[in-house]
Amino acid sequence: MAGRQKPRYLVQKEVTINGDIKANCFDLNEEGMYIQTENPFGPNNVLNLSFDVDGSPVKVKATVRHLDPGFGFGVRFITLSAEDKVTISRALAALEQPQEYTTVLLVDKDERCRTVYKYALQQEGFKVLDMASGNDAFKILQQTPPDAVIVDNQIEGINAFKILQFMQTKEELKTIPAIMLTTRFIPDEADKVQSLGVRDYLIKFKTTPKSLADKVKLFLGE
């Protein structure tokens, strides 16, 4: 439990597994990291990992601990050098400095998806309000409007379309860039959300967390 309570370095970067498998790392602390990859690895497999932290290369052996089949897994480092541990600690300390944030409202009932998307958005400097249900998102929109909205089309409670319709009825909300996520492309649905002011309609398995964050930056910069 102690390892899970340590500060995390929120990242979206490449990690190489066993010298040739490319994957993405989404969070990192002094004891381990979470890696997204569809490559099959079993519990307690020992892996050779290489990645960088603030430009410093790190090579370490790690063991697979927490497994999400078909999506990714968490690992615990077993050979992290003292020098590399200091490098990670410094990166963690830098994240604790006060920052000004642009706020993104992220609504998705899938906790795993919320986690990886949230990490990618935070790495780009956004403050993320992540919600599992449309009811909670609706309250946020009424109280403190965010700068951008990302909503999955299958959320529970007040559905995504009602949230978008509500945004279009409020002057302070209708100009907020909104992105809808979906597990599969539905032409009629794509047309419907476009009429509700949605800036983009993205299929999840074709959209990396980094590309989603880049979309938000693009729309906020226009």
Residues 69, 115: one domain? no
Residues 50, 160: one domain? no
Length of the chain: 222
Residues 205, 120: one domain? yes
Number of domains making up the chain: 2
The CATH number that applies at residue 215 is: 3.40.50.2300
Q: Mark 53-70 as b/e (b = at least 16 C-beta within 10 Å).
A: beeeebebebebbebeee
The CATH number that applies at residue 41 is: 2.40.10.220
Provide the edge-to-edge strand list for the sheet that holds 198-203.
126-131, 102-107, 148-152, 178-182, 198-203
Confidence bin at 219 (pLDDT 50/70/90): very high
Domain C-terminal end among 33, 65, 95: 95
**pLDDT over 80 at 97, yes or no:** no
CA–CA distances in Å: residue 49 to residues 12, 35, 86, 101, 122: 15, 10, 18, 32, 24
The closest of 190, 108, 192, 203 to 157, measured between CA atoms, is 108
Residues 33, 110: one domain? no
Question: What angle do the packed helices 160-168 and 134-143 form, to 10 degrees?
Answer: 20
Confidence bin at 2 (pLDDT 50/70/90): very low
pTM exceeds 0.85: no
Looking at residue 160, its pLDDT comes to 92
pLDDT digits over 19-78, tens only? 999 988 877 888 998 888 877 788 889 999 999 988 889 999 999 988 877 667 889 999
Domain C-terminal end among 95, 129, 158: 95
Domain hosting residue 112, numbered range:
102-221
Domain C-terminal end among 57, 74, 95: 95
Looking at residue 1, its pLDDT comes to 31
Residues 123, 186: one domain? yes
Residues 60, 140: one domain? no
Residues 32, 85: one domain? yes
Alpha-carbon distance of 182 to 201, in angstroms, equals 7
Contact 193, 164 (CB under 8 A): yes
Residues 159, 59: one domain? no
Alpha-carbon distance of 220 to 214, in angstroms, equals 10
Residues 62, 17: one domain? yes
Alpha-carbon distance of 89 to 15, in angstroms, equals 18
Alpha-carbon distance of 5 to 113, in angstroms, equals 21
- Quickly list DSSP for 154-205: T-BSS-HHHHHHHHHT-TTTTTS-EEEEESS--HHHHHHHHHTTEEEEEEGG
Residues 90, 110: one domain? no
